[in-house]
Amino acid sequence: MIINIKTLTKDQFNQFIKLVKLYFKEIENEILDDESANSYVNNILIQLEKYKTLCLIVSIDNNNINGFLLGNTFYNYNNEKCSFILELYVSCENRLQGIGKNLLKNLNI
């Protein structure tokens, strides 16, 4: 199931923070503490309010968040409208199951 970040429960939001920490560890080789991860996510939430074309969606399976996508749903390139992916992450143990593809299909939520 793909849902917008704004509809997460508190428990799901905490799961998302943990996933962000995994993302930074794997992609950036950087270990974030809880405060830094919360700051990163809160900054994204501020940007989502400021720029209505930004979209942050998460993938949930069996009540566990296993992936997320941050993208811009309205981007102009050579005078054509398109979407732009800023970040896409699926946890290691959930890869090769179509989660990333499903996130991409739902970018315009």
CA distance 42 to 81: 28
What pLDDT digit, counting tens, does each position of 47-102 carry? Answer: 888 988 888 889 998 888 899 999 887 766 777 777 788 889 998 888 998 899 99
Please give the residue range of the domain that contains residue 90.
2-105
DSSP assigned state of 32: P
Domain harbouring 93, CATH code: 3.40.630.30
Edge-to-edge strands, sheet with 64-77: 2-4, 54-61, 64-77, 80-90
Question: What pTM was computed for the model?
Answer: 0.81
What pLDDT score does 34 carry? 84
Q: How many domains does the chain have?
A: 1
